Amino acid sequence: MSDHASDFVLQAVSFDTLEGWKDDDPSGLFEVMRRCRRQISDVKLYRTGSLGLSSEDLLPLLHAAEDFTPSSPSAARAFFETHCRPFLIRRKDGNPGFVTAFYEPDIEVSERPDEVFRFPFYRRPDDLIDLDDANRPADLDNSYAFGRLHDGRIAAYPDRRAIDQGFLEGRGLEIAWAKSKVDVFFVHVQGAARLRYGDGRIGRITYAAKAGHPFSAVGKLLIDRGEIARADVSMQSIRAWLARNPEYVDEVLWHNRSYIFFREAPVADPEAGPVAAAKVPLLAGRSLAVDRMVHTFGFPFFIRSESLTHLDDARPFRRLMLALDTGSAIVGPARGDIFTGSGDLAGERAGTVRNDADFAILIPQAAAGRFD
């Protein structure tokens, strides 16, 4: 799937034609929108994606939400009907959109390594630098947003295998140690975790940077090898296969050369979601990771998936969500990752989401005319 705006079109529609819109209750989004407004106004504008919608285009909607408290689901919907116009995202290749899901794992950790807790979560190394068109070496693909600066030269950073084999040892970058290499890997996939220490303390880590190598799905590797049927692939089935085949764990995990570095995040409210790429706490069931090369954080999306039923009491998934995060595997204009919450139950819900979906983006009135 390309990240170029020329590969899709926006089709103006009415709220009346958004199937499921009249049954949704987006009331919970207003506090998140207020947090986005403060982030944009007081800290930093969100990066503008190739669609061309900017933080400035979003601000009128966020300002309108500042003092609005919906009295009912219909009042919440009416707010968006007044201030936005919906546009379906149509891929020119005719394929539907696609959603997966992610969650915040709970991981038992130790602040010191021992025979049980042996697998670290690392902070961002000081020799990892951001790359752009001005400093990216010619032999590195444009997809590399990070590299290594060493002895005055910039090159690709060591990959998952090299780091697992000790490249970062002895540099004091460890945040905490987990019991399982597989658990650490899936925290990398999710991009955040709650850490539970033996003395009862709760910590939180969230994405800080990555080594830069492309994301390669281990599920696809196992499908291609005939180990798991395509229809059965999920986080749960991958974990089960790895548990049955411990001698292949390194080989399979090292297939995904991408490696994630973390930062410690405050835990002011353990019940709030992790602070992700948009720098606001994620709201379970209402936060969407998108391709930030195409889209801009903070914009509302109405997602409809008739085949995705286990997140909404056996009903088709039809919800208004905010774009608040991104991910290496989230590529394309109609590709999203739904945040299901924190803990094991959220993980069970997230692990089996692989569904076709329709994407509609809600564009504030003043900017919507550019897309007619």
3-state DSSP assignment of residue 79: helix
Q: Which residues contact 193 (CB under 8 A, 6 or more apart)?
A: 104, 105, 106, 107, 121, 187, 204, 205
- Residue scoring higher pLDDT (372 or 357): 357
The amino acid sitting at 273 is G
Does the pLDDT value for residue 269 go beyond 90? no
Does the pLDDT value for residue 221 go beyond 90? yes
Phi/psi for 250 (5° steps) reads -60, -45
235 and 326 both lie in a single domain: no
Does the pLDDT value for residue 6 go beyond 90? no
Number of domains in the chain: 2
Range of the domain at 240: 103-264
The amino acid sitting at 209 is A
Q: Which residues contact 244 (CB under 8 A, 6 or more apart)?
A: none
Last residue of a domain, one of 237, 264, 291: 264
Does the pLDDT value for residue 4 go beyond 50? no
**Confidence (pLDDT) at 265:** 84
91 and 156 both lie in a single domain: no
- Could you tell me which of 190, 176, 169, 162 has the C-alpha nearest to residue 117? 176
At 176, which CATH number? 2.40.240.50
Q: Across residues 178-185, what is the average pLDDT?
A: 97
**Confidence (pLDDT) at 372:** 85
- Residue scoring higher pLDDT (144 or 272): 144
- DSSP category for residue 158: P
**Confidence (pLDDT) at 272:** 75
At 92, which CATH number? 2.40.40.10
Helix residue spans in the chain (DSSP H): 29-38, 55-66, 73-83, 160-164, 181-190, 218-224, 235-244, 249-254, 344-351, 365-368
3-state secondary structure 29-63: HHHHHHHHHHHHHHHCCCCCCCCCCCHHHHHHHHH
170 and 313 both lie in a single domain: no
Q: Across residues 278-282, what is the average pLDDT?
A: 92
Model pLDDT for residues 21-35, shown as the tens digit of each residue: 999 999 999 999 999
Last residue of a domain, one of 264, 281, 307: 264
CA geometry: angle 294, 296, 300, nearest 5 deg: 110
pLDDT band at 188, cuts 50/70/90?
A: very high
Last residue of a domain, one of 208, 233, 264: 264
260 and 117 both lie in a single domain: yes
Does the pLDDT value for residue 48 go beyond 50? yes
257 and 146 both lie in a single domain: yes
**Confidence (pLDDT) at 3:** 41
Tell me the pTM. Answer: 0.83
137 and 246 both lie in a single domain: yes
155 and 208 Cβ atoms separated by less than 8 Å: no
163 and 111 both lie in a single domain: yes
- Provide the mean pLDDT of the chain: 93
Model pLDDT for residues 285-334, shown as the tens digit of each residue: 999 999 999 999 999 999 999 999 999 889 999 999 999 999 878 999 99
What DSSP string runs through 283-332?
A: -TTTEEE--TTT--TT-EEEEEESS--TTTTTSPEEEEEEEEE--TT--S
Q: Across residues 177-187, what is the average pLDDT?
A: 96
* Cα-trace Rg, the chain: 21
